[in-house]
Amino acid sequence: MKFTNGYWRIREEIDPVYAVEYYDAEIKDKELVVYAATKHMGDRGDTLNQPLLTVTFFSPMENVIKVSAVHFKGALYKGPHYEVCGQEGDFVSIKEDEEKIVFTSGHTSAVIHKAANGWKVEFVDGNRLLTESSFRNLAYMRNQNTKKNYMVEQLLLDVGEYVYGLGERYTPFVKNGQTVEIWNEDGGTASEQTYKNVPFYLTNKGYGVFVGHAGDVHFEVGSEKVERVQFSVETERLEYYILNGETPKGTVQLYTRLTGLPALPPAWSFGLWLTTSFTTSYDEETVTGFIQGMADRDIPLHTFHFDCFWMKGYEWCNFEWDKDTFPDPEGMLKRYKERGLHICVWINSYIGQKSALFDEGMANGYFVKNLDGSVWQCDRWQAGMALVDFTNPEACKWYQSKLERLIDMGVDCFKTDFGERIPVTGVQYYDGSDTVKMHNYYAYLYNKTVFELLERRMGRDKALVFARSTAAGGQKFPVHWGGDCTATYPSMAEDLRGGLSLSACGYGFWSHDIGGFEQTASADVYKRWCAFGLLSSHSRLHGSTSYRVPWLFDEEACGVLRKFVKLKCSLMPYLYAQAVKAHREGVPMMRPMFLEFPGDLTCETLDRQYMLGDSLLVAPVFKESGEVSYYLPEGIWTNYLTNEVKEGGKWYTETFDYFHLPLMVRENTVLAIGKCDDRPDYDYTEDTTLKLYGIREGAKIHMTVPYMDGQDGMTAEATAENGKIMVAVKGGKGWKVEEAVDSGREIVLG
């Protein structure tokens, strides 16, 4: 949202009130309250007839500084509010002299300057400036036409500073120059709208900013004042956090500590998922034919998903199988479980008027209501649909009880679709929540309700949802997928941009519709997407009006899918270790290049390749010609599929067939390869091969292979000295060690 007309002038309808200079301060325990005058205080009379902004500095966690800027303190500030964690300890200090006050948390400080007519707050790491707010930056804006009031902050963008994140965004990966509205919409992957809005951005300087407001936050990222990131909210109180993890990766870790670490998905979920697709015609015979077709072609399949029409049309959601199509759902699921498959079914949080649950929910007050107490309804998506009110604890239990019956039948997880079409005017929630804030936050409560049921029924290490919409903190309830993409190369690339933007917001696990959702891919696009999809954290074949089984494209597609499914299964000892790391430390499995290689200027704008964990670089192919240009950071890299060795610090342009792509292993890597290539859940510590890649003289490497419950199982220490590689392995059995590319050096096992 823009308030100015060029740099000097304000828009005619806007009445601005700026923080002009420091007036006074109070120290309350470990909290600093600063009063910012909105005009120069020449004498006592200047304190009259002028607003005063109250700016509070607080630290909930070391190297995190929360700033709260308030105009009218007595104004309503209703929830919901994002859940944030705190930290015990003595890590805050406040020092004052004649020129400034310094509020310090860990090694990060807010420096408040006292100069007349010189309002300035600098955020620094020691002597290094991170960002600052100064002349005409912190403000209270009144719109004279609409009578709406806004709190606004503008933080400095340095020369060469790039901004990332703000949720799963499909627009250019670097957000500089963009206007971004934090507002969940069902907009597909080809617009500026997105299902997953997160008011957190990260910069290549190594710090991040989280706006702690669950409502409609507007960002102008160098798009109003080109040297500033502006964020504004219609409110009397603006709260934001400066997070300084020193590096981009460190700051993502700090952000996930603040807003919640991702749960660890069960090992089986990392295998191949196949769905019915959306509006296609299917019954048990059709589904069984797909499952058997995969088995006949030796393509490992691990999860089958039933999309919307497992229920009757117009009755979403009644959570009842369509008996005309599936006359024996219990028996059917039992037969599929006997094949070793896990089962997922589609749900959403909307209850259509024809659903048998509508009257029950209405009678008990479980739906979002109009202001007159009647049920809010609309005809978008489902005729006469109502919205489950997840602020009502009894409504949550009721909703969970309907899902429990499906779990009892053998359903393992739920695809929590939709959750974006949430009204904000003329409605009320059970707990009195602010309806604008609930628009995005609704998705958080929806996924939390379903996830907590699965967690209670199946255990913490076996729960997952497959979610489309989310809000800040939603990374705690994995997995999330990219929404409605199109079966084209540009859409495949925009999906990746969205996933990398989301990972910069602490989302550890992410997926997408292999082959594209809308339309039907060419065999060429489908095969390239299979490689990309199986080299993502989670891998699902899904479409809209057509099936996604490979033999409908061509026979070669079956071979391509088979190869990459088996490849992923064999890599599970490594991949699950990276999943455990995402769960424990908040480092996403799929990472933008700048996150892993800070300081490498080339990596700062790359959005068509990524790191899959610490050691694997993936560059999907986005051209029918098979040509791909990719960049390797400094070091020695080895193509996992060909063992070709390449020198880093360079760009490469190569052409690949459908069975290959740049899957590059970083130097000084001990890569754990499993014994099994037909399933993702097995003992990763038994009969494991440790492959050594580019071990440099003097290197000291530690790696861990977990058990399927996430606990440490096998560890390996590798060192290279005097022309020898010494490897010491603890735990596990039947393992062996080999160099991927024989260097002629002796391997000594200890």
Per-residue pLDDT of 694-738, as tens digits, reads: 999 999 999 999 999 999 999 999 999 999 999 999 999 999 999
Average pLDDT of the residues in 71-91: 96
Give Cα 580 to chain centroid, integer Å. 16
CATH topology of domain 267-585: TIM Barrel (3.20.20)
Superfamily of domain 4-243: glycosyl hydrolase (family 31) (2.60.40.1760)
Residue 461 has pLDDT above 90, yes or no: no
Angle at 366 between CA 363 and CA 370, to 5 degrees: 90
pLDDT in tens, 397-414: 999 999 999 999 999 999
Please tell me which residue in 239, 420, 495, 513 is annotated as part of the active site.
420
Residue 460 has pLDDT above 90, yes or no: no
Write out pLDDT tens, residues 363-374: 999 999 999 999
The enclosing H or E element of 577 equals helix 572-585
Q: What is the pLDDT of residue 744?
A: 86
- What gap in Å lies between CA 543 and CA 643, rounded to an integer? 35
Stated as kind and residue range, the H or E segment containing 191 is none
Average pLDDT over residues 110-128: 97
Q: Which secondary structure element, helix H or strand E, spans residue 60, and what is its range?
A: strand 52-61
Residue 624 — pLDDT band, cuts 50, 70, 90? very high
What are 178-237's pLDDT values in tens digits? 999 999 999 999 999 999 999 999 999 999 999 999 999 999 999 999 999 999 999 999
Phi, psi of 701, rounded to the nearest 5 degrees: -125, 135
> Is there a contact between 149 and 384 (Cβ–Cβ < 8 Å)?
no
Q: Which residues lie across from 638 on neighbouring strands?
A: 645, 665
Q: What is the pLDDT of residue 750?
A: 81
Among residues 153, 161, 417, 683, which one is catalytic? Answer: 417
Residues 258-287 pLDDT 10s: 999 999 999 999 999 999 999 999 999 999
Sign for the pseudo-dihedral over CA of 98, 100, 104, 108: negative
- Give residue 725's identity as a one-letter amino acid code: I
Q: Please state the domain extents for the chain.
A: 4-243, 267-585
420 among known catalytic residues: yes
Mean pLDDT of 391-399: 98
Q: Is 484 a catalytic residue?
A: yes
Please name the residue that has the structure tokens 């009892």: 408
Q: What is the pLDDT of residue 498?
A: 98
**How many residues are recorded in the chain?**
750
Q: What is the pLDDT of residues 91-108, one digit of tens each?
A: 999 999 999 999 999 999
Residue 231's DSSP bridge partners are 153, 219
Identify the CA nearest to 509 among candidates 196, 191, 216.
196
Radius of gyration for the alpha carbons in the chain, expressed in angstroms and rounded = 27
Q: Quick check: is 307 catalytic?
A: no
Query: What span, in angstroms and rounded, lies between the C-alpha atoms of 422 and 438?
Result: 8
Its pTM stands at: 0.97
Q: Residue range 494-503: average pLDDT? A: 98
Mean pLDDT of the chain: 97
User: 3-state DSSP helix/strand/coil percent for the chain, to nearest 5?
Assistant: 20, 35, 45
Q: How far apart are CA 603 and CA 613, in angstroms?
A: 16
Dihedral over Cα of 550, 553, 556, 557: its sign: negative
- Is there a contact between 716 and 729 (Cβ–Cβ < 8 Å)? yes
Interval 580-612: pLDDT, tens = 999 999 999 999 999 999 999 999 999 999 999
Mean pLDDT of 460-486: 96
